[in-house]
Structure 1
Amino acid sequence: MTLTASYETCRRLHARFGRSYYLATRLLPSWKRRHVHALYGFARYADEIVDASSTADDRTAALDRLTARLATGLAGEPTDDHVLPAFIHTVRSFGIDYDDIDAFLQSMRADLTIARYSSYGDLLDYMEGSAAVIGTMTLPVLEPLPGWEKEAREPARQLGLAFQLTNFLRDVKEDLVRGRVYLPQDDLARFGVEESDLARPRVSPRLRELLAFEAGRAREHYRAALAGVEMLVPSSRPCVQAAHDLYGGILDEIERSDFEVLARRVQVPRHRMLATFARHLAAASAAAKADRYMGVEMPGWA
């Protein structure tokens, strides 16, 4: 497994499973794209392990093996893994915080044993590792402006939280099939929703009210993330803005369907996705020129 092949594996994982975010990355300079693909590919790789249709012991053992291979790889040992070479190279190239990686793996491990969350605070604790740190791991690749590195972390966290909460609303039934309910138990009780309501073919009025409430929370995370766009170098801004709009478009479609997420998997129509991409394409071209004017240079082999 060459490094180039590993990056290509990650790109294919991203293209297959992260349709909206993958499209947004097309607005990045090419040297940045591969690193975002590597981060997404690693996250998806671990996620597929915990979602596999095998026994709990098998999933635990597989995650243990991945964690061990990652540790030896980060220590400088070679690995024949298909995803890890690209991920490790990206981590080293940008000095990505190992604590963020550990937090992500801890949340993946939680999915092996925890299937319900009592409160939104408990869910946020889980999402800190499963989503917020994806934002902060990506941040060095996107390049905060000098002096804004610390301030840019919180909007990056918020965007990760917004994306994942959107996923939870879209995938209620899919998650239930896997035995998980990410809607907080306190909120189910507050709106009088039973877990059996999540298995019905159509959304009940009470479940619709609950989903609308959670969508409002997601909107708050999206709003909190927007401040971070201007904290990045110009060439990264169109990608992040497009990702914000494309994933926010999933939430728009959920609301447009009147929260009918049980009958089908809600998706943004292709023509709307392409229209959003096209709207940011000219800005991406202008931003690349602005980076050159500012003296932003491509590092090494990145």
Structure 2
Amino acid sequence: MAATTGVRLYDRTAARASRAVLQGYSTSFGLGTRLLGPQARTDIEAVYALVRIADEIVDTRGGDDAGQMLDELDQQVERALSSGWSTNLVVHAFARTARRVGIGPDVIDPFFASMRMDLTVRVHDQESYERYVYGSAEVVGLMCLAVFLNSGRRPGDPLVVAAPDVTAGARALGAAFQKVNFLRDLAEDSAGLGRSYFPGVTPGSLDAPTLAALLAEIERDAATARAALPSLPRRARLAVAATLGLYDRLAAELAATPPQELLARRVRVSAPGKVAVLTRSVLAEALPRTMPGTGVRA
């Protein structure tokens, strides 16, 4: 009995550690997770925390030993997926989630590969850009999708596997979020980290037509993500719709900002603005849809 209590206490402590990482780094993502059920919220927090720690290694820590640190984190995850245990609380929480919902090496390996690219690739061509976005963002969307479909799974239950269009929507959702952040962080990535993610785009070359083309690319991703919303479980659908609404607002702010101004400040949405956007998005998704002129629910 004492051993069981100890395991549960360790698991709960690991989950709280992951929640603390999310709360410390992202108000937007955190607001969206509140619309999920308790288990799905805990699982998404575990995914976010691991991704954030890896990102901090390559962006904030940097240095000659960053690659070694990233390798160590990758190895910790691999061992925890096998054993179900880690001395790293965030890794422990992630592994518990991953083992239950079906997150495996097929998405974890590309993620760490993209994180390693941040240590070696400074300017991306089209091929490396697409590979980086897939590993850094699209697979995170797939991890979240696995949570949405399997957070309530019990041992022995079959995994729920998404249809191809829903999988495409999850990948597109991650890509849209990442590309918006690329635009928001253009100046910092270039001046502070020496990176250029968009092929052929530098702070000096960003003009109105280029910005419009990038925003059109993001909108195509967002449209693919929105098309998959009806296939998600209800609470996941509301959470994703809310987060998409916020990124739509950010995209609109980016479109209204002169390119050179984007290099001087990071476009943000105020905390009250985020709440308002999220509320409107949830209501729009939750209210019954009707066929125009008929009053019949679509």
- Interval of TM-score (by shorter of Structure 1 and Structure 2): 0.7 to 0.9
For structure 2, the residue ranges without an aligned partner over 5 or more in a row are: 1-8, 151-159, 289-298
Displacement of 1:34 in angstroms is 0.7
Q: Which residue of the other structure, out of 64, 68, 74, is the alignment partner of 1:61? A: 68
Inter-partner Cα distance in structure 2 for 1:237 and 1:77: 30
Q: Distance in 2 between matches of 1:196 and 1:281?
A: 35
**Alignment equivalent of 2:80, drawn from 67, 73, 76:** 73
Aligned counterpart, 2:148? 142
Instruction: Name structure 1 gaps, 5 residues minimum.
Output: 189-194, 199-205, 288-302
Q: SS of 1:277's equivalent?
A: helix
Aligned-partner Cα distance in 2 for 1:245–1:258: 22
Question: What CA distance in whole angstroms lies between the structure 2 residues aligned with 1:86 and 1:132?
Answer: 21
SS at match of 2:207: helix
Q: Identity rate of aligned residues, in percent?
A: 33
CA separation in 2, counterparts of 1:213 and 1:61?
38
Which residue among 25, 32, 46 is the counterpart of 2:33?
25
- Relative contact order: is structure 1 or structure 2 higher (C-alpha 8 Å, sep ≥ 6)? 1
Conserved 8 A contact 1:238-1:281: yes
- What code does the residue aligned with 1:52 have? T
- What is the rounded CA distance, in whole Å, between the counterparts of 2:78 and 2:142 in structure 1? 20
- Which amino acid is the alignment partner of residue 272 of structure 2? H
Q: Deviations over 1:1-48 (max 9, x none)?
A: 922122122212222322222211111112210101111111011000
Give the whole-Å Cα distance in 2 for the aligned partners of 1:211 and 1:249.
Answer: 16
Counterpart of 1:48 in structure 2: which amino acid? E
Q: How does the TM-score come out when normalised to structure 2? A: 0.83
Structure 1 residues 159-193: Cα deviation after superposition (integer angstroms, max 9, x where no partner): 000000000000001111111111212xx3xxxxx
CA RMSD of aligned residues (A): 2.4
Q: Does 1:35 align with 2:43?
A: yes
Query: What residue in structure 2 maps to residue 46 of structure 1?
Result: 54
Compared CA separation, residues 255 and 154, structure 1 to 2 (3 A): same
Contact 1:27 1:281 (C-alpha < 8 Å) held by counterparts: no
Tell me which residue corresponds to 1:297.
none
Code of the residue aligned with 2:176 in structure 1: it is A
1:283-302 alpha-carbon deviations (Å, 9 max, x no partner): 89899xxxxxxxxxxxxxxx
Kept in 2, the 8 Å contact 1:235–1:284? The answer is no
SS, match of residue 262 in structure 2: coil
Choose the corresponding residue for 1:182, options 197, 200, 204. Answer: 197
TM-score (norm 1): 0.82
Q: How many residues align?
A: 270
Moved over 6 A (4+): 283-287
**Corresponding residue for residue 152 of structure 1:** 166
